[in-house]
Amino acid sequence: MEVVIVPDSAAGGELIAEAMADLLRRKPDALLGVATGSTPLPVYEALGAKVAAKEVDASRARICQLDEYVGLPAGHPESYRSVVLREVVEPLGLSEAAFMGPDGAADDVAAACLVYDRALAEAGGVDLQLLGIGTDGHIGFNEPCSSLASRTRIKTLTEQTRVDNARFFDGDIEQVPHHVITQGIGTILEARHLVLLATGKAKADAVALAVEGPLSALVPASALQLHPHATVVVDEAAASSLKLADYFRATYAAKPEWQGL
């Protein structure tokens, strides 16, 4: 696992966007896995700017969702389908045909999970999956004690996650669904490159446990320790609990430029 400490969220967004752009230059039809929430917005803004400036051609890129609420109609402004279309697909000039996501409004949600998990494999797999981390160490919506071998499935959100996400529902936790579809940890680990972005002091303890703690289902993000190409990008605040922060800084400073992320 590589840990990169950046000055702020804008620097993290630029770094990851350039990694995505490099991937698209090598593989124009790459499948990019995207996360939602406020943390990844600087990534999407920076990548959109590169596309607008014609620094990279994203016209053949494909986008896939990490997770989705259960029970929200597809057109609901806070369904993750709507969020990804609004924040990623449209700014990159892509059509909905370039987008893949699970159906959280399906009559048979369990079947929809299987369909989506299979669709990711049939699409050739995810080339780069962007991840966030919850204050409790979750990735996607794999809450603590999720199986490290889990596949795309239905999960019940913890009260803390619903509290954290209430800000997207006018601060009303009662509007936040109790259930979600999420790529499982086993599914996530099949992506060729995992990039986790964390910013802010509130994420510092979760980052330290994921990076420096033991591999544990109690901290789902610690599963990144099993991946052959996992990158954790954190700002100074999110890095503040890392015991090896100075080592991570020195390692990245000595890294050959040609290696990229």
Asked if 122 is an active-site residue, the reply is no
Asked if 143 is an active-site residue, the reply is yes
Asked if 178 is an active-site residue, the reply is no
Return d(Cα 169, Cα 149) in angstroms, integer: 32
Using alpha carbons, list the distances in angstroms from residue 61 to 49, 80, 128, 176. 15, 19, 12, 31
Q: Which of 67, 68, 103, 127 is catalytic?
A: 67
Return d(Cα 167, Cα 176) in angstroms, integer: 9
Asked if 136 is an active-site residue, the reply is yes
Q: Which residues pair with 128 in a beta bridge?
A: 32, 193
Return d(Cα 139, Cα 136) in angstroms, integer: 9
Using alpha carbons, list the distances in angstroms from residue 237 to 140, 165, 204. 22, 21, 7
Return d(Cα 222, Cα 107) in angstroms, integer: 34
Tokens, residue 212:
């420096």
Q: Which of 14, 87, 136, 235 is catalytic?
A: 136
Return d(Cα 64, Cα 66) in angstroms, integer: 7
Q: What kind and span of H or E run contains 180?
A: strand 179-182
Q: Which of 68, 103, 143, 235 is catalytic?
A: 143
Catalytic residue set: 67, 136, 138, 143
